[in-house]
Structure 1
Amino acid sequence: MATDYSHELNVALLAVQRATLLTKSVFHSHAKGTLNKSDASPVTIGDFGAQALIIAALQHNFPEDEIVAEEEAKDLRENDSLKNTVWGLVQDAKLSDSSAEQILGGPIKSAESMLDLIDKGDSKGGNKGRIWAIDPIDGTKGFLRGGQYAVCLGLMVDGDVKVGVLGCPNLPVSDSEPLTESMGADATDSEGKGVLFSAVQGQGAQSRPLAKGGLETGSKIAMKPLANIADATFCESVEAGHSNQSDSVQIANKLGITKPSVRMDSQAKYGSIARGAGDLYLRLPVRKDYVEKIWDHAAGDLTVREAGGQVTDVEGKRLDFSYGRTLKENKGVIAAPKDVHSHVIDAVQAVLGSKQ
């Protein structure tokens, strides 16, 4: 049966909005409760709280759906102080609109049920059925550093991304504000900041201001026409471990781009180019065995494609979300306006090919 995914989109937007408000409360506190996972990436109380809230909303509305999420509750089960801190945050995280809260299923009942919810993100993913992918705080290092980060949620049906939502509290609300170098480093969520991006397959992409209650009205967004690729603004990861920045410089030179790259964390990069604030997003392989996680790209990939862009790996293949929790059949990410994407791929392959 065909669906327009309007209910899924509404739930996803409200869930991400509520979770993003929780992360904002942590962003302003000094004790962010940082841990280190086995892969050495920092985890904060914001990650756990946001994941619990999003999964609670999904379980209430779509109890049969599977969920792939980044965090597990093991650390909280072994640390009562940390668990109680997160539980306090989750209890306080409510939208000011009671009907919006009702859609999400209202408050989580207990700290133990919060832990159980966090652990429901253990699906193996795959190419069958409805699977949600959650990154509760994408760009955790940016979050800790006071930079950009995003709360990300995507719905895949039979391995194909159908709905995507990004909560970016530190990006400007205005779609016309250009991407600048300082935007990735000196982030604030002061007046005029905070935006939700969303996309539904075949229905385009939108942005709307982040609100504290019900949803604000959305506006259609589109990639900016790029008459001359040399004028492009491209963005890449802040972390050198996430993208090969020296290769990016060579690719920019090949394309005649003279502007310095805008380095910022998280899928805020996807949202920024989808609305025309920037033009290109390059995420280049740092090592042969590096595999991307689906939650780092599902929502952003759909948002850019629905805004009129093209997203592939460095070989020009579409990102394939049907192989489980990782993009194991893809290497790197290239996002660009459709009419110049092939030129960017040519430059990428010329630079990467010369290293073989």
Structure 2
Amino acid sequence: MNKLFDSEKYARAASEAVEKAGVVCRAVQSRLDEVRAIAKDDKSPVTVADFASQAVVVRVLRELLGDVRVVGEEGSAFLRDPDHAAHLGATLNAVRIVWEGCDEAALLDAIDGGDAEPHADGFWTLDPIDGTKGFLRGGQYAVSLAYISGGSPVVGALCCPNLSRDFGRSFDDPDPHGSLYVAARREGVRVQSAMGGDTEPVSMRRPGREEGAPIRACESVESAHSDQSASSRVLEIAGGAGEPARLDSQCKYAVVARGQADAYLRLPTKKGYVERIWDHAAGALVAVEAGCVVTDIDGNLLDFGQGKGLEKNRGVVCADPGVHSRLIGAIADIGSLRG
């Protein structure tokens, strides 16, 4: 098999899948109150968007690649329960935005197509809505899809429907076009608008960093996701500047990859916590292919070949090559991180 051709084919499929899923998610996010009223559940919009996004991604991958193995977070059992008929109806309506004529059977089958297990021969991993709290507050979230082979992501697509390509726009101000990042191992990253606007993909590389400049960091909005007090100490030791920018989801990987921040820290909040592969695979590949270094807090490469969890890793550090070792050293210096 021609490996270059294969990676291009998979990258195109991944790009189309997350782009269409992003359209559906944005439509649901634009009418949060309406969906809540239909399903009588404050969290129902993210439930509907989660299922709809997964169904769309699986359907596109099947159309373009044939039989696929997709490791996701969702199965259709919730929607098959008669008590959740309102959620099923809302999900079906959302999917039909990009999948004309979809019926209940096709929808449920597509959702269950994302309920596979990791396999040595390769598999896709999907987070249909990464950053659920950001989604519910009208903020940043991502549709994250990656193909894993040999324990590493080799193709990754990250659709960030609200993340502007304009660095001057606040992360709290959703962009009408968003941004979409597609990476293939050793072939770089391409970026384009997620919907409308300038949709022609262009190559992206992290710009050079001024030597001696303070480290600009980003981290999760939710303190439960990362030990923010430890992050503050690490950045103080390593030479950080001010408060980190805070945004939800794997959008943080994109922000570092494109040079808007120098580092993304995800430090363990409790002993024994294992990160899930779908929370990092696509974003990590985008960052690496843009010229960043991505490891765990001990400086080890992330191992995506241990099932659904990063079982051999603790936390994540994504950073510019010029500051990564300083951050790892600072983490070692404080020496009291959980994990």
User: What TM-score, normalized by structure 1, do the two folds share?
Assistant: 0.87
Partner of residue 8 from structure 2, selected from 6, 9, 12? 6
Partner of residue 76 from structure 1, selected from 48, 64, 79? 79
Q: Does 1:328 align with 2:311?
A: yes
Question: Structure 1 77/205 Cα, relative in aligned 2: closer, same or farther at 3 Å?
Answer: same
Contact in 2 for aligned 1:35/1:42 (Cα 8 Å): no
Contact in 2 for aligned 1:230/1:255 (Cα 8 Å): no
Q: Which residue of 2 is the match for residue 100 of structure 1?
A: none
Q: Which residue of 2 is the match for residue 140 of structure 1?
A: 132
Partner of residue 171 from structure 1, selected from 153, 163, 174? 163
- Partner SS for 2:161: strand
Q: Which residue of 2 is the match for residue 205 of structure 1?
A: 189
Partner of residue 338 from structure 1, selected from 314, 321, 326? 321
Supply the AA of the counterpart residue of 1:206.
R
Q: Kindly state the Cα deviation for residue 20 of structure 1 after the two structures are TM-superposed.
A: 0.2
Question: Structure 1 27/2 Cα, relative in aligned 2: closer, same or farther at 3 Å?
Answer: same
Q: Which residue of 1 is the match for residue 249 of structure 2?
A: 266
Question: Structure 1 305/85 Cα, relative in aligned 2: closer, same or farther at 3 Å?
Answer: same
Partner of residue 276 from structure 1, selected from 259, 284, 289? 259
CA distance in 1, matches of 2:112, 2:181: 26
Partner of residue 146 from structure 2, selected from 154, 157, 174? 154
Q: Does 1:48 align with 2:51?
A: yes
Counterparts in 2 of 1:5-44, with a 5 A limit?
A: 5-29=7-31, 30-33=33-36, 43-44=46-47
Q: How many residues align?
A: 331
Q: Does 1:293 align with 2:276?
A: yes
Contact in 2 for aligned 1:66/1:131 (Cα 8 Å): yes
Supply the AA of the counterpart residue of 1:133.
T
Instruction: State percent identity of aligned pairs.
Output: 37
Question: Structure 1 61/90 Cα, relative in aligned 2: closer, same or farther at 3 Å?
Answer: same
Q: Which residue of 1 is the match for residue 63 of structure 2?
A: 60
Question: Structure 1 244/42 Cα, relative in aligned 2: closer, same or farther at 3 Å?
Answer: farther
Supply the AA of the counterpart residue of 2:13.
V
Q: Which residue of 2 is the match for residue 187 of structure 1?
A: 173
Contact in 2 for aligned 1:35/1:44 (Cα 8 Å): no
Deviation digits for residues 328-347 of structure 1, max 9, x if unmatched? 11110000112321111001
Supply the AA of the counterpart residue of 2:77.
K
Q: Kindly state the Cα deviation for residue 224 of structure 1 after the two structures are TM-superposed.
A: 3.1
Question: Structure 1 130/61 Cα, relative in aligned 2: closer, same or farther at 3 Å?
Answer: farther
- Partner SS for 2:335: helix
Q: Which residue of 2 is the match for residue 250 of structure 1?
A: 233
**Structure 2: which 5+ residue stretches go unaligned?**
none
Contact in 1 for aligned 2:277/2:308 (Cα 8 Å): yes
Q: Which runs of 4+ in 1 moved over 6 A?
A: none
Q: Kindly state the Cα deviation for residue 311 of structure 1 after the two structures are TM-superposed.
A: 0.2
Q: Kindly state the Cα deviation for residue 229 of structure 1 after the two structures are TM-superposed.
A: 5.5
Q: Kindly state the Cα deviation for residue 352 of structure 1 after the two structures are TM-superposed.
A: 3.4
CA distance in 1, matches of 2:112, 2:270: 30
Supply the AA of the counterpart residue of 2:3.
T
- Partner SS for 2:3: coil
Q: Kindly state the Cα deviation for residue 201 of structure 1 after the two structures are TM-superposed.
A: 0.4
Contact in 2 for aligned 1:223/1:279 (Cα 8 Å): no
70-79 vs 296-305, which deviates more? 70-79
RMSD after superposition: 2.3
Partner of residue 301 from structure 2, selected from 294, 318, 332? 318
**Structure 1: which 5+ residue stretches go unaligned?**
95-106
Partner of residue 85 from structure 1, selected from 63, 87, 90? 90
